Amino acid sequence: MARAEKSECPSFPWPGGKSGLSRKIIEYVPKKGRTFVDLCGGRGNITFRAIHAGLNYQGWILNDTLTAPFFRAIRDHGDKFKAAEKSQAEFDRCAALAKDGEPYAILMESHLCYNGGTYVANKMRGDGGGRRTAESHTLNVRLAQKYLLGKKVGITQKDWRDCLEAAQLGPTDVVVIDFPYLNCNVGAFSPESICPTEAIEFLQKAPFPWVFCEYYQPLLVVAFGEPVFKQEVQLRSCDVQKTRERRTECIWIYDGKSASTVTVTFEPVSEDRMQIYYTHLSESELLEEIKQCIGSVNFSRNQMQREMRQRLLPALLELKNRTYRKKPGFYDTLAKIGLNADTGAPVVLSFQYSGRSYQSAGRTVRSS
Ligand SMILES: C[S@@+](CC[C@H](N)C(=O)[O-])C[C@H]1O[C@@H](n2cnc3c(N)ncnc32)[C@H](O)[C@@H]1O
């Protein structure tokens, strides 16, 4: 029996997709609400899983700048679709038809193209890229249509920020965010299409809950805290067959309420303090020292985050705007000054340790 029949959840697996992780992602989504937004739908795997899991949302938005035509083709033509067997001739025929927006060719794209990509960016899918039969692909497309029509899913093709601003979301909505991964090039789309710092800044102040998927990135840990879920996986990239690199797939969540303000008190460390200082402390003094030190460490971390929000992120955002669709682009320009823009890690650390001005004797400092 074909897979779609057994599991009854349509899926379109590909290396950058979330058909595998979708169950876990949905565990972090509130069971009901007003609008469910799949911001970068890809092949729709998260939305299909959410519908399959019985999430109760009044409205559904499936957005993607690149793959919205795929969703429209499923919605409008899924019931009549019947996939042909994979062959180079079928690939070439569909690649030509897709240029004219032929729905059959668009529906065949993820089945025929390497990495589930596009006719333009990816070659034909070899045996290693996908083992799904034509019959199984047909069943998945047809079932996917039932899901889209059943929930009257709205399909949009907006840039992520335009999509969120247009939807005017609030605390009873939820957004699932699966941007192109920062250091992965899957061919069909590029991480350059999203400015991570702009997204971070936007999401930190979001008035709606969200669930965010990415590999483990120091920049994201600083911005959002530790992820609620981590799993070791094989690196997703165009070179999946050549590389055995591992990455940690993560999920971050946010409840839609901005972080509250806290008050932190700290003492600076005197310049001449030595290890011997601690041998003379009583146990209660030692504990007090540990307590104060933790407050000071928290303060420094908050200062670092503030520095990132108020200086680093806006500067990176401006650079991103200036390098948009230019060569060299954002990543290449940063690489020229020796920064790994994928993670921002070296940037973060240098800010943290050069920040002498944070030290201030016995003051109470308000820090967000
Ligand atoms: C990692 S994939 C999403 C995979 C999807 N969750 C799935 O399971 O198939 C990222 C998607 O983001 C889309 N994308 C890239 N830049 C975008 C942008 N600026 N706004 C909206 N979507 C974008 C890409 O077209 C791509 O389909």
Q: Report how far ligand 1's centroid is from the alpha carbon of 42 (Å).
A: 5
pLDDT value of residue 301 = 65
Taking each helix axis from N to C end, the angle separating 134-150 and 103-112, rounded to the nearest 10 degrees, works out to 120
Q: What is the pLDDT along the chain (368 residues), one digit of tens a residue?
A: 444 445 689 999 988 889 999 999 999 999 999 999 999 999 999 999 999 999 999 999 999 999 999 999 999 999 999 999 999 999 999 999 999 999 999 999 999 987 767 888 777 766 434 578 999 999 999 999 999 999 999 999 999 999 999 999 999 999 999 998 876 665 556 656 788 888 998 999 999 999 999 999 888 998 999 999 999 887 665 455 555 678 899 999 999 986 434 444 455 677 677 778 888 888 777 777 776 776 666 566 666 766 676 677 778 888 888 888 888 888 888 888 877 655 444 443 333 222 222 222 232 223 33
Residue 214 lies in a domain: yes
Residue 362: per-residue pLDDT = 30
Phi, psi (rounded to 5 degrees) for 262: -125, 160
In the chain, the number of structural domains is 1
How many H helices and E strands in the chain?
Answer: 15, 9
* Amino acid sitting at position 337: I
pLDDT per position as a tens digit, 104-115: 999 999 999 877
Give the residue, out of 11, 24, 64, with the most ligand 1 atoms within 8 A of its beta carbon, to mutate for a pocket test.
Answer: 64
3 state SS of 89: helix
Ligand 1: centre distance to CA 56 (Å) = 24
Q: How many CB atoms lie within 10 A of CB 109?
A: 25
Per-residue model confidence as pLDDT tens digits over 17-41: 899 999 999 999 999 999 999 999 9
Question: Can you give the pTM of this predicted structure?
Answer: 0.71
| Residue 164 maps to a domain | yes
> Is 222 inside a domain boundary?
yes
Structural domain containing residue 145: 2-254
Q: How far is the CA of 49 from the centre of ligand 1 (A)?
A: 16
Q: Does 32 fall in a domain?
A: yes
Any domain includes 365: no
Any domain includes 261: no
**Domain contains 99:** yes
Q: How many CA atoms lie within 13 A of 209 on its CB side?
A: 16
Q: Which residues line ligand 1 (CB under 6 A)?
A: 16-18, 40-43, 45-46, 64-67, 159-160, 178-180, 189, 193-194
**pLDDT on residue 1:** 43
pLDDT of residue 218: 86
- Return the structure tokens found at 21: 């992780």
> Of 37, 45, 323, 322, whose CA–CA distance to 155 is shortest?
37
Provide the pLDDT for residue 267: 58
Max distance between CA atoms of the chain, in angstroms, equals: 82
Residue nearest to atom 7 of ligand 1 (CA): 17
Contact status, residue 194 vs residue 180, Cβ threshold 8 Å: yes
Phi, psi at 158, each rounded to 5°: -105, 155
Interval between CA 332 and ligand 1 midpoint (Å): 22
Residue 8 in any domain: the answer is yes
> What is the length of the chain?
368
What DSSP string describes 301-353? HHHHHHHIIIIIHHHHHHHHHHHTT-SS-HHHHHHHTT--TTT-HHHHHHHHH
- Extract the runs of DSSP E, i.e. beta strands, from 146-236: 154-156, 174-177, 210-215, 229-234
CATH number for the domain harbouring residue 210: 3.40.50.150
